[in-house]
C-alpha cells in the first residue's frame, strides 16, 4: 500500500480519491473548500490537510485534479504548493485537463526538485470516475509511470503512457476534438430525423448497428431526444477544453475548422442558459 495525497475533490476527484482509499492506501486530501474535504474524510476515513504542501509531505504519490492551468500552478508552486512539500523520488500525477505547455513547465520544475511529474488527463466523465472506469492518457518518463500505473488502476479501466511530458494532454485534446464533432453530428442527425417525421427510437435502433454507431449514440441519443442534459460533463468545461485544443492548433499548425465551429455552438448553448448542461445539449441549440 502507498502513502498518497489527492488535491482537488470536485465531481471527478472526490470519487477517484475514494477508490484509492477503498484499495487500502493511506490517503490525505486537500480541497480549496475545506467542507468538501471534511465530507470526504467522514465518508472514507482518510485525513485532510490545510494546504497542498501539508498534504504532500512524505507521500509516495500526489494526485491532482483541479480546473485549469492557473489552478494547477496554484496547488503545485510556491511555499504552500505541493512541490515544496514532496520528498525526493516521489511522483506527482496530474489528472487535470490542462495545456501541454503547463505540463512541460511543471515537469521541468519537478525534475529540478528531484521529483517526477506525469500529466494524466482522463476521459469517462463523472460516471467513469464514480464507477472506477476512467481512461487515462499519460505523458512523462517510463520509470515513474510504471510505479504509478498500478495505483491509478484503482479508478481506471485503461491507462497508457503516450510519450514524454505533455503527450497525455495532447492525447486528451484529440479526444475532445473527436467528441465535439461526434456530438454535433448526432445532434444534427436526430434533429433531421425528427423534422422528417421519423421515429427516433427506430432510427437509432437501426443506425446504431452500422457505421454510424458511437458511444455518444449509445449513451446520449435517448436523453437528447428527451431534452435531458444533466449527465455529467458540462458545457463550461467543454469550452475550456476546446479552447486548449484551439490554442495548441495555432501552435502546431493543424487546422481545426469543425472544432472551432462547434466551440461557437457551445457558446450559443451557454447564452441559452446551458452553462451547466452536459455536452449533448448541442441539440437544444438546433431546436430553438
List, by residue number, the catalytic residues: 172
Here the cell at position 88 is: 525526493
The partner residues of 123 in beta bridges, in order of sequence, read 135
d(CA 42, CA 44): 6
Are 71 and 33 in contact, with CB atoms under 8 Å apart? no
Helix or strand (DSSP H, E) at 5: strand 3-7
22 Cβ contact list (under 8 Å, min separation 6): 44, 154
Q: From residue 168, give the alpha-carbon distance in Å to each of 94, 161, 175.
A: 10, 7, 11
- φ/ψ of residue 155, rounded to 5: -130, 15
- DSSP-based three-state secondary structure for 160: strand
d(CA 173, CA 182): 14
Here the cell at position 263 is: 466551440
Are 92 and 116 in contact, with CB atoms under 8 Å apart? yes
Amino acid at each position: 500500500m502507498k502513502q498518497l495525497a489527492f488535491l482537488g475533490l470536485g465531481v471527478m476527484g472526490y470519487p477517484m480519491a475514494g477508490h484509492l482509499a477503498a484499495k487500502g492506501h493511506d490517503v490525505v486530501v486537500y480541497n480549496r473548500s475545506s467542507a468538501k474535504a471534511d465530507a470526504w474524510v467522514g465518508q472514507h476515513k482518510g485525513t485532510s490537510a490545510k494546504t497542498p504542501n501539508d498534504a504532500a509531505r512524505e507521500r509516495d504519490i500526489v494526485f491532482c485534479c483541479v480546473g485549469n492551468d492557473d489552478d494547477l500552478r496554484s496547488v503545485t508552486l510556491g511555499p504552500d504548493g505541493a512541490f515544496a512539500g514532496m520528498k525526493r523520488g516521489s511522483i506527482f500525477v496530474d489528472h487535470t485537463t490542462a495545456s501541454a505547455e503547463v505540463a512541460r513547465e511543471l515537469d521541468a520544475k519537478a525534475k529540478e526538485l528531484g521529483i517526477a511529474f506525469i500529466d494524466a488527463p482522463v476521459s469517462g466523465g463523472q460516471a467513469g470516475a464514480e464507477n472506477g472506469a476512467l481512461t487515462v492518457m499519460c505523458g512523462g518518463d517510463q520509470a515513474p509511470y510504471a510505479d504509478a500505473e498500478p495505483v491509478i488502476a484503482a479508478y481506471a479501466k485503461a491507462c497508457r503512457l503516450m510519450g514524454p511530458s505533455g503527450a497525455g494532454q495532447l492525447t486528451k485534446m484529440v479526444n475532445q476534438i473527436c467528441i465535439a464533432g461526434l456530438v454535433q453530428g448526432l445532434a444534427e442527425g436526430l434533429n433531421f430525423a425528427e423534422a422528417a417525421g421519423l421515429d427516433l427510437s427506430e432510427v437509432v435502433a437501426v443506425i446504431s448497428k452500422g457505421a454510424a454507431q458511437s458511444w455518444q449514440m449509445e449513451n446520449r441519443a435517448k436523453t437528447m431526444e428527451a431534452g435531458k442534459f444533466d449527465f455529467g460533463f458540462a458545457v463550461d468545461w467543454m469550452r475550456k477544453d476546446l479552447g486548449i485544443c484551439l490554442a495548441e492548433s495555432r501552435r502546431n499548425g493543424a487546422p481545426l475548422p469543425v472544432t472551432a465551429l462547434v466551440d461557437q455552438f457551445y457558446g450559443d448553448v451557454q447564452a441559452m442558459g446551458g452553462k451547466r448542461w452536459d455536452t449533448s445539449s448541442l441539440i437544444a441549440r438546433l431546436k430553438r
